[in-house]
Amino acid sequence: MASHPADIPFLRTPVGQDAHRWRTFPGERTLVVAARTLTSTIRILEVLPALLRGDSRLTVVFAYDPGSAFSDGSLDLLHDSGCRVMPWQQLADVEPDLILSASEHIDVPKGRCPVLVLPHGVGFQKYVPDSHSPRTRLSGAVSNELLDTGRTWMAVSHPDQERQLAAAQPNITGQTLLIGDPCLDELRVSADRRDQYRRALDVEHNQRLVMVSSTWGPGSLIAQNPDLPARLLGQLPADRFRVGLILHPKSGRPTGNGTSAHSRPPPSKPACSSCHPCTTGGPPSSQPMPSSATTDP
C-alpha cells in the first residue's frame, strides 16, 4: 500500500527533542536530505553512498516535502530503501549541519544551516512550469528567494555551467560549488560491468542496443515523437538490434497504470517499457544501420 505524507510520524531518534535518550551512536554531524520529487529522490539516493562512504560520524535523516505535483512514489522509495524519514514540518525543529537536496525547488525553514543543491538532470537547458506561480523557471536553478538567504550553494559539474547560470541568474555568482559529474563518475566505475548490463537487457554479443531517452513535458522527445520507439522496432533488423526506452518519471505516469500512453507502440508490436529493451525489432537484414541511431559500441 502506498505511503501517505500524513502517516509520517515525527522522529524521536536520531533527531528529536529527546533524541539523546534513545541514540546508541551519537553522530558528530547531522545531515538532513530533503526529498521532494521522485526524480530528485532517485538522484540523491544514487549519490549518497559515494558521498558518505560509510562515515559513522554522520547522522543521516530524510525530510519528505510533499509539495510537488510529481511527488508520487518518493515516499515509498525512501521507505523501501530503508531511510529514516521525518515529516517536512519537523525540519524546523532540527538543527542539522547541512541540508542536501537534488531538488532546487525546496522551501527550507529559516536558520543558519547551509544548503547544498545537487542537479538531477543534464545541465540547465530548459524552462519548466513554476509550481508557485503561473510563470516558467529555469530547470535546475535555485530560486532567488533561496539564494538571497546567503546560505545556499548550487552544485555544478563544469566551470561552463557556472557561467551559464550566472548569465541567466546573476545573483547566483559566488554561490556555486564545482563538484564534478556524479553520473559520469558512475559510468566510469561501471565500465567493467558492461557485459553484465548487456546480459540483463538481453542484448546478444552480435547486437547493438539503441536506447531512446526522453525528458518530460510537451517539448520532450517522446511528446514530439510518440511513435519513435515503434518506428525503431519496425525499421531496425531484429537480429542486429535491441531497442530500449528510458522515460523521465514525470512522463511515465499520465495513464496511472504503470505505463505511459506515449510509449505504447501499435497493438501488433510488444510494448516498449522504461528501462528495459523492447522484445523484438524489424525483419532480419544486412542493410547498414541508420546513421541517426544512437547506440552502444
Give residue-wise pLDDT tens across range 135-172. 887 777 888 888 888 899 999 988 988 888 888 888 88
Residue-wise pLDDT tens digits, 9-40 = 888 888 877 777 888 877 889 999 999 888 88
8 Å CB contact between 269 and 234: yes
**Confidence grade of residue 197 (pLDDT, cut at 50, 70, 90):** very high
Rounded to an integer, what distance in angstroms lies between the CA atom of residue 19 and that of residue 38? 29
- Whether the per-residue pLDDT at 51 is higher than 90: the answer is no
pTM listed for this prediction:
0.74
Mean pLDDT, the chain, whole residue set: 80
Residue with cell 554479443: 205
The proportion of the chain whose per-residue pLDDT surpasses 70, expressed as a percent, equals 82
Interatomic CA distance for residues 169 and 157, integer angstroms: 17
At residue 283, the pLDDT reads: 41
The residue type of 15 is: V
Residue extents of the structural domains in the chain: 5-185, 193-277
The pLDDT value given to residue 120:
77
Per-residue pLDDT reduced to its tens digit, 94-105? 889 999 998 887
Sequence-ordered list of residues with C-beta below 8 angstroms from that of 219, at least 6 positions apart, any chain: 126
DSSP letter string, the chain: ----GGG-PPP-SSSSTTGGGT-SS--SEEEEEEE-SHHHHHHHHHHHHHHHTT-TTEEEEEEE---STT-TTHHHHHHHTT--EEEGGGGGG---SEEEES-S---PPSSS--EEE---SSSS--EEE-TTSSSEEETTPPPHHHHTTS-EEEEESSHHHHHHHHHH-GGGTT-EEE---HHHHHHHHTGGGHHHHHHHTT--TT-EEEEEEE-SSTTSHHHH-TTHHHHHHHHSBTTTEEEEEEE-GGGS-TTSSSS-GGG---TTS----BTEE-S--B----SPPPTT--B--
- How far apart, in whole angstroms, are the C-alpha atoms of residue 266 and residue 230? 7
Q: What is the CATH number of domain 5-185?
A: 3.40.50
- pLDDT, one tens digit per residue, over 213-267 is 998 888 889 999 999 999 999 999 999 999 999 988 777 644 444 444 444 433 3
Q: Which three cell numbers stand for residue 21?
A: 535518550
**C-alpha cell read off for 295:** 547506440
- Alpha-carbon gap, residue 240 to 280, rounded angstroms: 10
More confident residue, 51 or 203: 203
CB 85 within 8 A of CB 62: yes
